[in-house]
Structure 1
Amino acid sequence: MKNLRQIVAILFILTTFNLSSQISLPKLISDGMVLQRDIPITVWGWASAEENITILFKGKTYHTKAGQNGNWEVDLEAGKAGGPYTMRISGSNTIEVNNILVGDVWVCSGQSNMEIPMSRVKPLYEAEIPKANYPTIRYFEVPKTYNFSGEQEQIEGGKWLNTTPETVLNFSAIAYFFAKDLTERYQVPIGLINTSLGGSPAEAWLSEDALKKFPKAYNELLLYKDSTYVNGIISGDRERIANWYREVNTNDLGNAQHWETLNIDSAKDWTNMQIPGYWNDQIETRFNGVAWYKKAFKISPAHKNASGKLLLGRIVDADSVFINGHFIGNTTYQYPPRRYNIPENILKEGENQITVKVINERGKGGFVPEKPYQIVLNDTTISLTGTWKFKKGVAKEPLKPQTFVRWKPAGLFNAMIAPLLNYKIQGVIWYQGESNTGSPDEYQALFSTLINEWRIRWNLGNFPFLYVQLANFMKSTTNPEESNWAMLRNQQLKTLTTPNTGMAVTIDIGEWNDIHPLNKKDVGHRLALLAEKIAYHEKNTVASGPLYKSSEIKGNKIVVSFNGIGSGLVAKNGDSLHSFAIAGADKNYVWAKATIHNNKVIVWSNSIANPKYVRYAWANNPDKANLYNKEGLPTSPFQTE
């Protein structure tokens, strides 16, 4: 037995040694990849110490040797767009990488609005998805993870995907529409590397060195370098949240009494509730916890036992849905649209009932207004808005929010950017900022630092960095207001002073009741216009709407000049201009009149004799902002201060 153990140990050592000497490659260098055209390409990987490496690509042979630490890299000659090609990498073993294209590679980064896949926005693009056959658009999604201890050399997984109607459902919607526009115009392969994470602030995408300019964020990183500290936060949150949900579900009367099967005629002590809406707006005693809703609806004989779709807009926070006592589906957090399938043999002729259990952690629980609430059965739509029956399941103190460790400073840079830095790219598209609206004043400093650092670390010069300005969101107000969202948009506007950047304005395509607006096609298109101008040097492309340039006070009026006017300024839909406000030295803004004259805007108010400042679209949701250029691109919000 002792000899057997010795033999096993020797075999293990030999096997381990053999594996350690094998050439290995980063996940990005794999079948289906797109390599950046027109610049030398770095291929890199790992092998045994001082191992000789040979690379054969496009008929040329390259040689290098691994260092003492096993790292190796080699630069390949610049190439024109084309393919497919095969690359063979040889040493003690041989790896063949197939189906390689040469074209343009774009990194797609930011938070959830960049992350949101085509499947989420599918209802807007039902006709487009079946046509998504683009074999030269390749997509790579970087695994979502973080690291505070240092910069990683390798990502944990991922593979290059061709674009098909099936695969595109998992692609970033913005990235797909961006690539589609460029492919159709230039007929060049496009590689998309999606490295984004919902909810992430800019600080998470900065390196440790870059964060030293921002003491608060840097000191927070130092705390999170302590794995014991991090693990304590994670385990504490997990236990606290699990206990809250355990108590809620244990004490919920609806669970105990099976309200999902209770006939609505027996719900005599239930109160009426208008849907959509929030229960704390419609009852005297507010609470968090669990609430149950019921509604009856009728099905015609023709739709008996039919399958269908159930659309329940958005619900805050989690929901479980039943029809005629049968479980239909559930969603565990507030942001996704509720789209459920109704299987066959659930619906019956005559009266049916739907029951929804809602768990609300904090704030207002219920059904988000101005979303679709309906059952769709082929050619028939049954509205579910109006009066429902409502009953409290259990009241519970609000649940303290989770500490999202993965959003902390430097974590995403280390795990999701650092491993990409050898991979040559054309540029970056970026959609982020919502998570920095709590402290908008420093965003320009953070963002410009991020852009400059990524450029330095990629060592490709001032590559194009194209970003999206925050869309309109939240309820509109009747009076001029202070707004963190407006302030952050202004910080994004100021970031255009960073060379070779472009900003897609989306102040007209947001949704007041959704931080994740579904219209991603126009966002991708506007980013593609910027790419045409900045990356592809199309001099005649009007890539942007009007951008504030300067202002001049003339008596009781202020004359505002713009860049990016294209063929000229217009008030959209031929209406008069809206969303302009004016103030004197006291900065007390009032709504102003505005008119276009000689491609400038003249702003005034009879109540301000000595104006000093102008604001345009300065609000969370300036829903009447209508200054555009004739090319149909909106003006960025701005202030003249």
Structure 2
Amino acid sequence: MNYEIGMVIRNLDTIKDMKIQFKNIGLILLLLAGLAWPGQAEIKLPALFTDHVVLQQQSDVAVWGWADAKESVVVKPSWSDEVYSTKADKTGKWKLNIKTPVAGGPYELSVSDGTEVVLHDIMIGEVWLCSGQSNMEMPMKGFPGQPVEGSNMDILKSKNNNIRLITVPRGKTPVIKDDFNGKWVTASPESVAEFSATGYYFGRLLNEMLDVPVGLIDVTYGGSCIQAWMSEETSVPFNDTPLPKMDDIPKVPNRTPTVLFNSMLNPVIGFGMKGCIWYQGETNYESPDQYEKLFPEMVAEWRKLWNIGEFPFYYMQIAPFDYSMFQHDTINPKFNSAYLRDAQRKSMNNISNSGMAVIMDIGEKTCIHPKKKKVGGERLALWALGDTYGIKGFGYKSPSFKALEIKGSTVVVSFNDVGEGLCIFEQDLTGFEIAGDNKVFFPAQVYLRRKSVVVSSPHVEKPGAVRYAFDDFVIGTLFGTNGLPVSSFRSDEW
């Protein structure tokens, strides 16, 4: 800029020689001032606030951005006569809350600090965060060599102005970020092909049943451990190694505590939403006891930071898979992903306003990414439709283990949420094991009642514990009559 000013000054004589007439020499000074001191910077909004955004209906939603320090900012939504104003802080950051109406649109939103920015094609509806590791990240088009069943036709038919999508790019460092490169897009074959399959099928069913716009925010990173999605404050009690410093470049960012929280989640914290769906746990399968503590802590932290109450948190139970394909500590008696699934099962009692979608029937022995993403995504949606939105008359909960009643050499296993009963859909009922005080489990003989099962074994005279489908890879055979599978479980704490 100084070079340009110098060139203008040095050429003033040339300007006179060319007999260019200036009515007011002050004009030259104004031009020079414009080069030396640029005018007020245009107000800036984060990627979350672009054209096509979906805002949570009937809420006080946060809107934020950046302007000059101490500058006044005025926000005007087209859906009301309300005018909202605030001032940027000394760093230029500003934030305020605006009221949203019932679902509808399209609307506009004006944001001005003297220079106006207008967001177009805003819809008001239901907003959900979709987070986790690769099974949530897996796009509708699939991974190389790993398809999403039926997705090609679903992609083709996906054009829908009332489903909007945005994806946060993968984070690489522990640096705390407040924005990302991205924008909201409407559902179309091109955009849906790249979006989370689990998230899309979840949102599509919500849109169909609620008949309102749905916004989905994809914040995922394949192979990530749960610690990477937690802040430094929450992670400290659970880590024996030093947390990364801000100038570190982790070799494995998705498995480094705090990295994804800082670089991916932080930019979306506080954005108005209804709730979250979560699909993660495969990376933590070797530490089920720790996961059982970490998971509720993470959810509690997210809820505290969003400051919108105990929003719904629905999560997918990890699918059965043969983890013995990986190198592992064979001495560890809990090297069995069923223990992680059990930690997830028990988390429903430790996380309020939560629900677990069970997928014991769609796991694949040699692929950790089940191809039936529609089944899983829609089971998460069933939880939201029944539990959050209060639709009646259908089943959305899998039957779950309730209690044992020991009667001599037999055990009666009872269940919660059995509805019209249990069934096996014309297949053999397998997967039950029974043990005595010696803690040795034997395959059980099973008798199916309408709302319970009776198990026994000639090798166990005095039973003390029962397990069901408690292996790395197993196909669930017990269902509720609503078609939802029973989770693997154990009655013991051995």
TM-score, normalising length: structure 2:
0.88
- The reply to whether residue 184 of structure 1 matches residue 208 of structure 2 is yes
- The reply to whether residue 28 of structure 1 matches residue 52 of structure 2 is no
Contact 1:576 1:595 in 2 (8 A): no
Name the CA shift for 1:8/1:494 in 2 (closer, same or farther; >3 Å): farther
Per-residue deviation, residues 146-168 of structure 1 (Å, max 9, x unmatched): 4424x32222x111111112221
> Hey, what's the Cα distance between the residues in 2 that align with 1:122 and 1:476?
24
Contact 1:627 1:635 in 2 (8 A): yes
> Hey, what's the Cα distance between the residues in 2 that align with 1:179 and 1:551?
38
Aligned amino acid, residue 533 of structure 1: G
Among the aligned pairs, what percent are the same residue? Answer: 38
Aligned amino acid, residue 439 of structure 2: K
Q: Counterpart in 1 of 2:256?
A: 408
Q: Counterpart in 1 of 2:138?
A: 116
Contact 1:469 1:492 in 2 (8 A): yes
CA shift for structure 1 position 14:
6.2
Q: Counterpart in 2 of 1:591?
A: 443
> Hey, what's the Cα distance between the residues in 1 that align with 2:233 and 2:35?
40
Name the CA shift for 1:2/1:196 in 2 (closer, same or farther; >3 Å): closer
> Hey, what's the Cα distance between the residues in 1 that align with 2:35 and 2:361?
61
Per-residue deviation, residues 158-212 of structure 1 (Å, max 9, x unmatched): 1111111222111111111111111111111100000000000000000111112
> Hey, what's the Cα distance between the residues in 1 that align with 2:201 and 2:87?
41
Name the CA shift for 1:2/1:519 in 2 (closer, same or farther; >3 Å): closer
CA shift for structure 1 position 129:
2.3
Q: Counterpart in 2 of 1:136?
A: 162
- The reply to whether residue 215 of structure 1 matches residue 235 of structure 2 is no
Indicate the SS of the match to 2:121.
strand
Aligned amino acid, residue 359 of structure 2: T
CA shift for structure 1 position 15:
6.6
Question: Over aligned residue pairs, what C-alpha RMSD do you find?
Answer: 2.5
CA shift for structure 1 position 534:
1.9
2:72 to 45, 52, 59: 52
> Hey, what's the Cα distance between the residues in 1 that align with 2:488 and 2:36?
60
- The reply to whether residue 487 of structure 1 matches residue 339 of structure 2 is yes
Contact 1:553 1:611 in 2 (8 A): yes
Name the CA shift for 1:484/1:63 in 2 (closer, same or farther; >3 Å): same
Aligned amino acid, residue 183 of structure 2: K
> Hey, what's the Cα distance between the residues in 2 that align with 1:2 and 1:183?
56
Contact 1:45 1:72 in 2 (8 A): yes
Greater per-residue strand proportion? 1
Aligned amino acid, residue 474 of structure 1: D
Q: Counterpart in 2 of 1:528?
A: 381
Aligned amino acid, residue 420 of structure 1: V
Aligned amino acid, residue 453 of structure 2: V
1:195 to 212, 219, 222: 219
CA shift for structure 1 position 541:
3.1
Q: Counterpart in 1 of 2:115?
A: 93
> Hey, what's the Cα distance between the residues in 2 that align with 1:484 and 1:421?
34
Q: Counterpart in 2 of 1:628?
A: 479
- The reply to whether residue 460 of structure 1 matches residue 482 of structure 2 is no
Contact 2:141 2:151 in 1 (8 A): no
Contact 1:146 1:416 in 2 (8 A): no
Indicate the SS of the match to 1:100.
strand
- The reply to whether residue 422 of structure 1 matches residue 422 of structure 2 is no
CA shift for structure 1 position 123:
5.6
Gaps of 5+ in 1: 235-402
CA shift for structure 1 position 130:
1.9
1:450 to 285, 288, 298: 298
CA shift for structure 1 position 77:
1.4
Indicate the SS of the match to 1:220.
coil
Contact 1:483 1:618 in 2 (8 A): no
> Hey, what's the Cα distance between the residues in 1 that align with 2:138 and 2:343?
24
Aligned amino acid, residue 208 of structure 1: E
Aligned amino acid, residue 111 of structure 1: Q
Contact 1:583 1:613 in 2 (8 A): yes
Name the CA shift for 1:184/1:2 in 2 (closer, same or farther; >3 Å): closer
> Hey, what's the Cα distance between the residues in 2 that align with 1:568 and 1:476?
35
> Hey, what's the Cα distance between the residues in 2 that align with 1:16 and 1:184?
56
2:174 to 137, 143, 148: 148
Contact 1:108 1:114 in 2 (8 A): yes
Indicate the SS of the match to 2:141.
helix
> Hey, what's the Cα distance between the residues in 1 that align with 2:166 and 2:318?
25
> Hey, what's the Cα distance between the residues in 2 that align with 1:490 and 1:8?
74
Aligned amino acid, residue 593 of structure 1: Q
Per-residue deviation, residues 362-414 of structure 1 (Å, max 9, x unmatched): xxxxxxxxxxxxxxxxxxxxxxxxxxxxxxxxxxxxxxxxx413430000001
Aligned amino acid, residue 60 of structure 2: P
CA shift for structure 1 position 22:
2.3
Alignment of 1:374-413 (within 5 A): 403-413=251-261
Contact 1:220 1:409 in 2 (8 A): no
Q: Counterpart in 2 of 1:374?
A: none
Alignment of 1:506-585 (within 5 A): 506-573=359-426, 575-585=427-437
> Hey, what's the Cα distance between the residues in 2 that align with 1:442 and 1:412?
19
Aligned amino acid, residue 165 of structure 2: Y
* Higher mean C-alpha displacement, 491-500 vs 160-169: 160-169
CA shift for structure 1 position 417:
1.0
- The reply to whether residue 606 of structure 1 matches residue 458 of structure 2 is yes
TM-score, normalising length: structure 1:
0.68
Name the CA shift for 1:115/1:89 in 2 (closer, same or farther; >3 Å): same
Gaps of 5+ in 2: 10-28, 326-332
Contact 1:546 1:634 in 2 (8 A): yes
Name the CA shift for 1:4/1:519 in 2 (closer, same or farther; >3 Å): closer
CA shift for structure 1 position 124:
2.7
Name the CA shift for 1:12/1:599 in 2 (closer, same or farther; >3 Å): farther
Contact 1:476 1:621 in 2 (8 A): no
> Hey, what's the Cα distance between the residues in 2 that align with 1:566 and 1:483?
34
